[in-house]
Structure 1
């Protein structure tokens, strides 16, 4: 167990501006609530709750044996919590929910594949089977089915009569320990007599594991997601890792120093290259295993930068070197766990930094382990990313609520019925408001349709262009070399075109959605002025924040053209003649290219477009409630208004209080 949990606090300084801003915003919301009616109070309470429940998602990906689980264990302050030597069959994503509210006092939850997911793997061979079928690799499919049969038989033998009962279910516990976790996520070695027979009992059918814990050294809630390596036999891991990365604020790529990026799986490279630079952190682990870390680390850094540049990944990406083993020694206060080689490497590093190796400090070991730098980098990205976006959205909504409170207050103080207009361009207020909402609902739908059509058209164009170039290249190859040997066309060009199309969609979406939202806010603001006339004075309604466009992770998924497999040789051998080569290969590339387009459209573009509509609809409905309240406020009594004022500071009027709060909110936003 950890004895020096205080070390986990190093790096929190990167979060201080964000947590301070959230604290100040909470105070301002409380001030607003003091002069708000019940409806506005409920909205403000929701804003506070969202800030209080803010959770940043950090996903760890990387090579098998690079030390992902060991790194997550250290950040959780629980060395050896998650098994760090997972059997290749295991494809379990484990999420540590840190400082989050556990449902019904649950401390651990393990969810199993449902019947359809299991059938997809067992009958179709999962994603790899899908690719093999598309490529017509019959021999490969036979091998896949054989391996699947062995896996299924072993799973049924372990679970017996419970096998069919657990699919689609979940097991929940009010505790977790090493034995329980290993039962669900780690198979172990069946031939090892020292292995507990319960180990890995459910591992084959477990899809995800969730653990809940409190770490007071962290000032915010975190989701630390430990994913399997992406290079498993049936590519189940790749699908699960991609699913985990969607919605993640930070992606930490854990690599072994001895491998770094030179032998990195291209599947992983394709995935991480879709992220924005500021979302990526590379943690080069296991520098304690290097013979000469002082000399080798700069060399590895240079190789990493070259590899990043070759794969169009910004060389500004944060790269941190360290050792989970050194970190464990510092955290547990037990340097004796280090091997002789690890200790010598640490001493070398110690001396290179100008320290006395004879006076080794646990704090210095922690610093040299890279964990403080990793924590700082993670926290910095959270503060600049999800934290900043939450603050912007909350301030935006709070300012609008303050304006709505002010408009409602003005309406309730009017004594002359004529001061409150009951006719808006020839329509009753209810009809005028409904007309405006319908108008913008239609505009939102029309914009979504146009955006979808344009991006799909451009993605389809990218497909067609790539297929033509690949086919032309194939024919040229055949004309020069005949039917000898194999030939493969790099799909990197396809991904470049698809990424360009997606980012063009993102830019157009932000620009045109921003214009639509601004127009809606202006028209809503005009309704307030129509209802209240000159009594409203200086008044504004802000447009909602444009939804974020997530990175196009679907582009990174493996397609048949990426696979370097023996089936390609057999694929060529089964075809005779230029026409057969060209037509069959063209059909294969078109199918593979379209699979990426379909994934982007269905899993990412559709979600973005739905967020556009939902954000605007929420904004319009909130304004509708206030506008209708104002339109029907003629019967409100002066006593009610006096009661609201009594809740606020007695030396200031409600309007002055609202003015001060709005001034503060606008100052914060500047």
Structure 2
């Protein structure tokens, strides 16, 4: 266990501005609640809940045997918790939920594949079978079916009569330990007599594992997602890994110093290339295994930079070197776990860092492990990313609620000739308000339809352009070399075109949705002024924050054109004649390109556009409730609602208090 878990708090300074801002915002919301009516109080309570439920998601991906699970274990303060030496294709996506509210007394939850997902694997071969079918790779399909039959037979043998009953279910426990985790997430080596027979009993059918723990050294809630990588035998978990990454703020790519990026799976490179630069951190683990780390680390850094450049990934991406083994020694207070070679490397690093010749202290070992730099880099990205976006949204909503409270208060105190206007451009307020709301529903629908049409046209154009260039290249090769040899066209160009189309969509969405939101806020603000005349003074309604467009991770998913080994040679050997090559290749590449487009449309574009519509709808619904309440107040008299003055200081009026709060909210946002 971790005896020195205080070390985990190193790097928290990066979160201080965010946590301070949240604390200040919470205080301001409490002040607003003291002068709010019931409706506004409920909205403010919802905003506080959103901040209280803030969870930063960090996903770890990487090469097999790079020590990814060891890194996650250190982050969780539980060395050895997640198995780090397991058969890679039997691993399960495991999420450590830190400082989050677990359902009931649950400490561990293991979710199994649904029947439909299992059938897709066992009948169609999963994603790999899907690709093999499209590529016409009959021999590979036979291999896939054979492996699936073996896996299914072993699973049914382990689970017996319970096999069919657990699909679609989950197992929950009020504890977790290493043995329990291993039972669900890894098979280990079946020929090893020392392996516990319970190990991996449910691994084949386990879709995801969730562990819940409290770590007071972290000032926020975290989700640390340990993925098995994207190279499992049937590619079942590539999709699960992609789903994990889609909701992640930070992607930590764990590499082994002895391998670095030179042998990294191309599937992994394709995925991380879709992230924004600031979301990626490369952690080069196992520097303790290098012979001469002082000189080798700069060489590895140069190789990484060159590989990133070749894969169109920014060379400004953060690269941190370290050792999970050194970190474990520091965290557990047990340097005896280090091998003799690891000690020698540590001493050389210790001297090179200028720590002197005295015995290595645990704090300094922790510093050399790279984990302080890793924690700092993660926290910086959380604070500047999802944390900053949440604060911006909450503050925006809070300012609007404050304005609504003020408008409602003004309306309650208007009497006689100064009462709320009951005629807006010849219509009752209720009808005028509904008309504006309806018009913006139509505008949002038109905008999202136009954005979808435009991006789909561009994606279709990218497909057609790539198919033409690839087919032309194939024909040129055949004309020059005949049917001898093997030719293959790199699909990177397709992804480049699709990425450009997606980012063009993102820019257009931000611009046009922003303009629509601004227009809606101005029209709503105008209704307030119409209803309340000149009594509002300085008053404004702010446009909602335009939703974020997530990175297009679907572009990085594996397609048949990425497959190597014997697949492509066999495709080539089965065809005779120029026309057969060109026609079959055009069909194959078109279907593969379209599969990416369909994934982007269904899992990225559709979600973004729905978020655009829902954000505006929520804003308009909230404003409509307040405006209707104000309009109806003219008929209900001027009595203030009970509790409206609760908590007010007698020396300040409600308007003065609201003005102070609005000023504070606006100042902190600047």
TM-score, scaled to structure 1: 0.99
By how many angstroms is 1:258 displaced?
0.4
Q: Which residue of 1 aligns with 2:226?
A: 226
Cα distance in structure 1, aligned partners of 2:239 and 2:560: 15
Give the 3 Å change call, closer, same or farther, for CA 234–646 of structure 1 in structure 2. closer
1:391-426 deviations in Å (ceiling 9; x for gaps): 000000000000000000000001116531111111
Deviations 1:601-633 (A, max 9, x none): 010000000000000000000000100100011
CA RMSD in angstroms comes to 1.0
Question: What is residue 435 of structure 2 aligned with on the other side?
Answer: 435
Measured after TM superposition, the shift of residue 638 of structure 1 is 5.2
Per the TM alignment, residue 238 of structure 1 is displaced from its structure 2 partner at its CA by 1.7
2:346 corresponds in structure 1 to: 346
Change in 2 beyond 3 A, CA 1:209/1:417: farther
What is the 5 A alignment of 1:44-63? 44-63=44-63
Taking the aligned partners of 1:198 and 1:643, their CA distance within structure 2 comes to 61
The question of whether the paired residues in 1 share the 8 Å contact of 2:100 and 2:214 is answered with yes
Deviations 1:615-657 (A, max 9, x none): 0000000000100100011255555368523431111000000
Residue aligning to 1:171:
171
Q: Which residue of 1 aligns with 2:12?
A: 12
Aligned to 2:583: 583
Change over 3 Å in CA distance of 1:478–1:37 after alignment to 2: same
Give the conservation status (yes or no) of the 8 Å contact 2:37–2:643: no
Pairwise CA distance, 1:27:
0.7
The alignment status of 1:277 with 2:294, answered yes or no, reads no
**Secondary structure in 2 matching 1:516:** helix
Question: 2:135 maps to which residue?
Answer: 135
- C-alpha contact (below 8 Å) 1:417/1:634 kept by paired residues: no
Deviation per CA, 1:173-195, whole angstroms, max 9, x where unpaired?
11111111010001122222221
C-alpha offsets along residues 415-441 of structure 1, whole Å, 9 cap, x if unaligned? 116531111111111111111111000
> What does residue 328 of structure 1 align with?
328
Aligned-residue offset at 1:443: 0.2
1:208 lines up with 2:208 in the alignment: yes
2-structure distance, mates of 1:89, 1:167: 19
Q: Report the counterpart of residue 624 of structure 1 in structure 2.
A: 624
Contact 2:281 2:319 in 1 (8 A): yes
Query: 1:513 aligned to 2:513?
Result: yes
Q: Which digits, 9 at most, give the CA deviation of each residue in 1:360-400, with x for residues without a partner?
A: 10000000000000000000000000000000000000000
Which deviations, in whole Å up to 9, do the C-alpha atoms of 1:280-301 show, x marking residues without a partner?
0000000000000000000000
- Which residue is 1:295 aligned to? 295
Task: Return 5+ residue gaps in structure 2 as ranges.
Answer: none
Number of the residue aligned with 2:389: 389
Structure 2 length-normalised TM: 0.99
Classify the secondary structure of the residue corresponding to 1:316: coil
- 1:248 aligned residue: 248
Partner of 1:365: 365
- Asked if the contact 2:414–2:638 (Cα under 8 Å) also holds between the matched residues in 1, the reply is no
Contact 1:91 1:240 in 2 (8 A): no
Name the structure 1 match of 2:497: 497
Distance 2:404 2:29 in 1: 14
Contact 1:100–1:222 (8 Å) recurs in 2:
yes
Task: Measure, in 2, the Cα distance between the counterparts of 1:163 and 1:668.
Answer: 57
Give, in whole Å, the separation in 2 of the partners of 1:212 and 1:31.
34
Would you say the 8 A contact 2:246–2:553 is kept in 1?
yes
Q: Deviations over 1:221-275 (max 9, x none)?
A: 0000000022222112322211110110000000000000111111000000000
Give yes or no for contact 1:63–1:230 (8 Å, CA) kept in 2. no
Correspondences of 1:80-91 after superposition (within 5 Å): 80-91=80-91
Distance in 2, matches of 1:9 and 1:78, equals 15
Per the TM alignment, residue 560 of structure 1 is displaced from its structure 2 partner at its CA by 0.6
Superposition deviation, residue 88 in structure 1? 2.8
* CA distance in 1 between partners of 2:645 and 2:51 (Å): 27
Looking at structure 2, the residues matched to 374 and 582 of structure 1 have their Cα atoms a distance apart, in angstroms, of 49
d(CA) in 2 for partners of 1:520, 1:638: 29
Which residues in structure 2 correspond to 1:56-205 (within 5 Å)?
56-205=56-205
SS, match of residue 281 in structure 2? strand
**d(CA) in 2 for partners of 1:87 and 1:236?**
15
Aligned residue in 2 for 1:593 = 593
- Contact 1:94–1:208 (CA<8 Å) still a contact in 2? yes
Q: Which residue of 2 aligns with 1:2?
A: 2
Could you tell me how far 1:356 is from its partner in structure 2? Answer: 3.0
Contact conserved, 2:63 with 2:254, CA < 8 A, in 1?
yes
Matched residue SS, 1:647: coil
Match of 2:469 in 1: 469
The worse-fitting range, judged by mean Cα deviation, of 183-192 and 535-544 is: 183-192
Aligned length: 670
How has the CA–CA distance of structure 1 residues 40 and 565 changed in structure 2, closer, same or farther, with 3 Å as cutoff?
A: same
Structure 1 partner of 2:574:
574
CA–CA separation in structure 1 for the residues paired with 2:247 and 2:319: 22
**CA shift for structure 1 position 537:** 1.2
Separation in 2, partners of 1:643, 1:349: 65
Counterparts of 2:106 and 2:641 in 1: how far apart (Å)? 46
Q: How many angstroms apart in 1 are the aligned matches of 2:485 and 2:156? A: 43
**Is 1:22 paired with 2:22?**
yes
Q: Is the 8 A contact 1:60 1:254 kept in 2?
A: yes
Give, in whole Å, the separation in 2 of the partners of 1:152 and 1:341.
Answer: 43
Structure-2 change in CA distance of 1:114 and 1:58 (3 Å)? same
Does the CA contact (< 8 Å) of 1:132 and 1:138 recur in 2?
Answer: yes
